[in-house]
Amino acid sequence: MTTSTLGTAAPLKSDKDYDWLEDLHSDKSLGWVKEHNERSLNRLEKTTTYAKMKTDALGILQAKDKIAYGSIRKDFVYNFWQDADHVKGIWRRSPWSAYRDGKPQWDTLLDVDALAKSSGKNYVYGGVECLRKDENRCLVTLSEGGSDASFLGEFNLEKREFVAGGFELPASKSSVHWVNKDELLFNNALTAATQTDSGYALEVRRWKRGDKADKAPIVFRGEKSDVSVNGWVSHDENEDKEYVFYSRGLSFYTSELWVDKEGQPFKLPLPIDVEMKGLHKGQFLFSNRKQLGTFPAGSLISVPFAELLKGNTPYQLVFTPNSHQSLDTIEISKDFVYANLLDNVRSRVIRFELNGDKTSWTQKDLPLETTGSIALVSTDDTTNRMLIGYEDFLTPSSLYAMDGGTLEKHLITQLPPRFHTEGLMIAQEFATSTDGEKIPYFIIHAKSMKKDGKNPTLLYGYGGFEVSMHPSYLAVAGKLWLEKGGVYVLANIRGGGEFGPRWHQAALLEHRQKAFDDFAAVAKDLITKGITTPEHLGIQGGSNGGLLMGASFTQHPELYNAVVCQVPLLDMLRYHKLLAGASWMAEYGNPDDPKMRKVLEAYSPFQNLSPKKTYPEVFFVTSTADDRVHPGHARKMAARMEEYKKPFLYYENIEGGHSASADLQQRAKRSALEWSYLAQKLGLKS
């Protein structure tokens, strides 16, 4: 930025003068963090609402009657569980029959709290992959403090212990997948030399038991400019076949797909913008982000895999959503393929069955509620067993078991209400953006709400990476906000995936401003309709949604009185040089490209903060351990606001990764801090 003066003050600092805050653990930067944490905590923890909000949030988060969502694997359901007695969590399993009947017989496999205590490490559970044909051998990932970089160890399920001398990796963004009991595919990101510019794996090695991982033979390699390189094994249960796949992530949305063919990588003849969905009865299933022949973007398409291996592409259409729909998730069971469809941002599930001609498909809607969100929690490709979840903003989550063949549905359990919903209602409204596009949003409020502009209102948004914002049960927000008369709004702005690839691509790269315009349009619509006024309107978003917050309050400071800016991107001229930032250039553009730099300069919050404007007080929330979005974004923005004497609060959790909270206690504290701030700023009655 050009140096200027503010009255008789010293010249303003340049962007580079703040770079020292990008040093994660220096005494100087951590000293700055601790000073601002203390100042913010001293204020927020003394509010009249904080203690009660923390207690209420913790009670919900630690409740023992939460739904134990699980993954079906043959005759068992596996679940990771956290509560007051297991703050870091336990990994456990129950026989399917007991789980289905709502009386699970849990057998603890791994106690992360006990492991953390015995090792002196702040372990956070990252996930498990078990060997398909011998499920007693598993690969467990753990991170310290919740970062994306994870440790890996081989675990013996029968003995409930890590295997001495087994497969093991230090913390990194590497990943591994079983080939057989003595071989793994190792996606190597151990050192800078084996990492892409984005910090992910550059090569795939075939790692045999007893060998050193970094000495295993390389079987596939990409380029440094790739986002990531991966190898994995996919199974076709009906054909009793498995295949080794490799991918070169050319950008966040494009990749080359390869398969091991007689010991050599073979490049599949597919466009780079398709996304593999799985193998089923000899068919390779994928979706397309752009028009493919006569198939519109966002379709589900199949092709015989045997033909694909010959270089042929006799594509067959499975399903094409209309302009108000999008494919959300695809799951596969033994005999069927299921598509979770968003229809005007409400869920619907369709079952597809391959016909005898092996080229056409029969479809049938599943008999499920379609006014909220359906989750295909788990399927099993050795059976037709399914776990399905349902919720909406006011309806507690339900979990069902379903037979994918008979479509017989059985309620396993439903979450008890966490807040009083009597007198509350849900509505879907539409705002008109600057270019005339209709932008949907959900609003939850009391039926008796007066349209006098005095309602404390929180507007939440994301708008990026083709991520759809679904209706979800507002357990904590309902207790801390809706019960007390607050209004909650969820904006489905462009950049998300609510209406498929077109909705995402409308706000991509040089069109990013449309997402910000959409969000402002929703805010203005709320004000025009008398729901609220700027004095009572707050906004919240995290990660890409944190960028949305930064752009919103710098472009329209007159619209808001509170901003919760969580784990944000804010310096869009340097984001690609920080942690995983380079992997997002397909979303935002390359700041080193003069054309895109001009676009980014126009909205980058860090560069567009003005010493001459009046801004609402902003609450920045981030984590030192976040190794996805660098906390330097929030640090630098807050420091510049401090230089300009603009109001802000700042809280940086020393642990917690990209979620900014590593365990339930930290999550409750963060929730109480954020909602106390919003209540204070927007006039919520305690």
Are 185 and 206 spatial neighbours (Cβ–Cβ below 8 Å)? yes
Residue of 658, 659, 661, 676 marked active site? 658
Tell me the one-letter amino acid at 579.
Answer: L
Angle at 477 between CA 475 and CA 483, to 5 degrees: 95
Give the separation between CA 118 and CA 130, rounded to whole angstroms.
Answer: 24
Tokens matching residue 17: 């003068």
Q: How far is CA 278 from CA 248, 337, 338, 357, in A?
A: 17, 9, 11, 20
> Is residue 568 classed as helix, strand or coil in its secondary structure?
coil
Q: What per-residue string of b and e applies to 251-260 under the rule 16 or more CB within 10 Å gives b?
A: bbbbbbbbbb
Tokens matching residue 176: 């591994």
* Block residue for tokens 């890590």: 162
Q: How far is CA 582 from CA 248, 286, 568, 674, in A?
A: 15, 26, 15, 30
Tell me the one-letter amino acid at 578.
Answer: L
Tell me the one-letter amino acid at 308.
Answer: L
Can you give the C-alpha Rg of the chain in angstroms?
A: 25
Tell me the one-letter amino acid at 645.
Answer: K
Structure letter (DSSP) for residue 452: S
| Longest Cα–Cα distance in the chain | 82
Q: In terms of C-beta distances under 8 Å and separation of at least 24 residues, what long-range contacts does 135-141 make, across chains too? A: 135/73, 135/74, 137/163, 137/178, 137/181, 139/167, 139/176, 139/178, 139/184, 140/91, 140/110
Known catalytic residue at 658: yes
* Block residue for tokens 């913010």: 40
> Is residue 220 classed as helix, strand or coil in its secondary structure?
strand
Give the separation between CA 492 and CA 496, rounded to whole angstroms.
Answer: 7
579: left (phi over 0), alpha (psi -120 to 50) or beta: left
Tokens matching residue 391: 């919720």
The partner residues of 108 in beta bridges, in order of sequence, read: 92
Known catalytic residue at 543: yes
Compute CA 560 distance to the chain's CA centroid, rounded to the nearest angstrom.
26
Backbone angles phi, psi at 318, to 5 degrees: -95, -50
> Is residue 520 classed as helix, strand or coil in its secondary structure?
helix
Residue of 29, 373, 543, 623 marked active site? 543
- Which residues, including other chains, have CB under 8 Å from residue 124's CB and lie 6 or more apart? 88, 112, 142, 143, 144, 145, 146, 657, 662, 663
Q: What per-residue string of b and e applies to 219-245 under the rule 16 or more CB within 10 Å gives b?
A: bbbbeeebbbbbbbbbbbbbeeeebbb
| DSSP, residue by residue, 42-97 | HHHTTSTTHHHHHHHHHHHHT-TTS----EEETTEEEEEE--SS-SS-EEEEEEHH
Residues involved in catalysis: 543, 658
